[in-house]
Structure 1
Amino acid sequence: MHPDDPSEQKQQDPQPTTRSTDPASTERTTGRHRAPEPPPRRGRRLLTSTPVRAALAAGVTCCLGVAAYAGTRDDTVERREPLAEAVADRAALADQRASRSLERTAAPTPTPTSASPSPTPSPTATKKKAPKKPPKPRKPRPVAGLTQAQMDNAKIIVDVGRELDVPKRGLVIAVATAMQESNLYNYASGVLPESQNYPHQAIGWDHDSVGLFQQRPSSGWGTVQDLMRPAYAAKAFYLALLEVPGWQDMSLTVAAQTVQVSAFPDAYAQHEERATTVVEALTS
């Protein structure tokens, strides 16, 4: 008999169809052929299966974990923001302290000690140097038995002659003439009280004769004040000597007498040697 015989089917009790809990066995079998299970009705939830419930539970757990992670992340971000501000404030405070410490240690004030006293500024460093005064001319060393005052007057006579380009022979004549007339001292006159108002080294009584060359104001040599200055008196003598024709070829006493017109014309010759020594000392 064929298994599909309807009479055999009638003899067998119909077995109730049950759904398997296994998702793989959700299909129903009729004989040798499997037929798909009819779709569930609307509104009916298939929650009776254990794997389905496990999957749903896993999905719910996953959603809750994501939500919890998101909340935790937000809370962490919210909690970290004040922490970052605090760290920034502490860093700024540390920078300020570091800068203050650098300012305190950058330029320490040296403390004076007894071993190394602080240098005091010298007066020359703070005050301007005053201009140097020209050095005073050195006084010539006396020669030929002269005093310092006599040597100083002889130097004035020689310096004036050199300014006028007078030859050395004329310098010797001038010094010898002053040796004879005043012994190389600047004389005032007792006859002319005015002459005593000016610097002088001696007083004579030979009429109104004054100065190194005993020149008389009354003879036109100059004023009393001028003739009392050794430089002026020497210049007056040289200008008169240069006016004498051929004075360089004359003897010393003749040349001097031509200028001075003295009562003792031969007296000048005795001073020629000493005058030459003085001129050599003052011009060398």
Structure 2
Amino acid sequence: MEKPVRRRRHRALLALVVLLGLGGYLVIHLTTGGGAPPRCVVTDAESGETREFDPEQTANAATISAVASARGLPSRAVTIALATAMQESALHNIRHGDRDSLGLFQQRPSQGWGTRAQILDPVYSAGKFYEHLAKVRGYTRLPLTVAAQKVQRSGFPQAYAKHEPAAALLAAALTGREQAALTCTTGPDSQLAGDPADVRERLAREFGRKLLAAEQDAGGGGRSAQAATGGLVTVAPGRSAEDAPRRGWELAHWAVAHATELGLAEVAFGDRVWSADDSGKGWRRAAETSAEVRIVTAQ
């Protein structure tokens, strides 16, 4: 009778080892974001409401917001643009649509929006949308459906309304009005090496070269507020203490939204830090407080 008992004990021990191994695997993958497809989540600090987007959607949304910032437009403009792009393309830069419609906003070359290549450039297409929106008198006070329709001339103008809550929540994070409100998990490709020069170029192109050049003077003491040392890019968030937190989180959220495509390993601002290795934990308390936005590329 001893042999069956030994076999049962052996099977029980083997099952325990398998369970412990599986548990360790799940802990590692869930905490690093490796157990599920990469995703981004934006959270309302007051209500706890969350909205989820894939990395491409979030990166496109961050670009749309940055272009508005470069033009000095208010958060309401970003909300209108995001809701419009959510309806027209689900925030994906699609290469087809109704007739010759293309891109995030389904703009048509035949209607004077630009060439096919231009419209498929998110920076260009967002800029064209804002160019037309800025001509709408009092657009910040209009219902979102009305403001969007005056730009888009859609056959279904009321469809924009259903995207307003999500667009407003996302705009609050991307414009920096909400702190540590947007985080993304990463996948295997997130560890591809990044180039600080590419990060600086993207920042300049999306937020505006003049804007970043002006911020370089904010470092004081002749010290450049934007510099790279190895894999590090630092950006001073603003000239005034009042504006710095909002501006800093605008830049920090932008960086996390583009982390996968730019090969970023870490983003830090204030007393928070996000890292690709621990992306499942979101924004964590940093060991040191940083007055600048610190963007570290993967090596």
Pick the TM interval, shorter chain.
0.3 to 0.5
Q: TM-score with structure 2 length normalisation?
A: 0.43
Structure of greater Rg? 1
Higher strand share: 2
